[in-house]
Amino acid sequence: MTRYAQQERQALCDTMLAVGPTAATMCSPWVVRDLAAHLVLRETRPDLAVGIIVKPLASRLERAQDELATSDFDELVGRVRSGPPWWSAASIAAVDEAMNRMEFFVHHEDVLRAQPGWTARALEAGLEKAVWSGLTRAAGMFYKRSPVGVVLDADRVGRHVAKKTADGAADASVVVRGSVADVVLYSYGRKSVANVSLVGPAEAVAALEGTRLSI
């Protein structure tokens, strides 16, 4: 099994070191050092990471992240690079792929696409298929708020109904079309840097564009 989660983890760490701790990310107002701190706490402090989901606990996580982000940057990135601790289920390859493949792919794009003059990277076919698989499994959650049907159409990879219309007619949906990376970024709410075309009735396209996409 190709470990795409590990591949993207290492590539993201290389990129973070290359752009530096105060470079922008698509997770504004976070800069790179904030993103690195987030990734460390997500894997090493489950007692705090629950604040990502449980909003009343978010302030504890935010304080810990702010403090960690001020630590030595090279060491911080090194902690991201070293991977999940031995006691984490993510230390098992299959679990790591399920938990971290999309996390590290999207956050790598968050750093790359926030830099001035960014260009889309060429993805190997295996990574494209793996990322597409991750997206299609979660697409229903991303588009649950959409008032219109949504079909995802990724170049060279496939087509997937993310949200059915009220009558179940996929041909009345908005088609989100682009490269795998761009369809992923659009679905994860990074609409401003996702180079996709939206095909469908004008009213439906406007409704989708106005929808906040998130899990």
Q: Residues 168-186: pLDDT tens digits?
A: 655 568 999 999 999 999 9
Q: Pairing relation of β-strands 174-178 and 197-199?
A: antiparallel
Helix and strand numbers, DSSP H then E, in the chain: 9, 4
CATH class of 138-209: alpha beta
Calculate ∠ Cα 100-106-109, nearest 5°: 135
- In percent, the amount of the chain with pLDDT more than 70 equals 92
Average pLDDT over residues 52-65: 78
* pLDDT tens column, 187-213: 999 999 999 999 999 999 999 999 998
Q: Where are the domains of the chain?
A: 4-112, 138-209
**Single-letter amino acid, residue 121:** R
pLDDT at res. 171: 56
pLDDT at res. 170: 57
How many Cβ atoms from other residues are within 10 Å of residue 176's Cβ?
26
Tell me how far apart the alpha carbons of residues 175 and 30 are, in angstroms, rounded to a whole number: 31
- At 174 the three-state DSSP class reads strand
Q: What are residue 25's phi and psi, to 5 degrees?
A: -135, 170
pLDDT at res. 111: 98
* pLDDT range class, residue 87, cuts 50, 70, 90: confident
- In percent, the amount of the chain with pLDDT more than 90 equals 74
- At 143 the three-state DSSP class reads coil
pTM: 0.92
Mean pLDDT of the chain: 91
* pLDDT tens column, 93-142: 898 899 999 999 999 999 999 999 999 999 999 999 999 999 999 999 99
CB 174 within 8 A of CB 148: yes
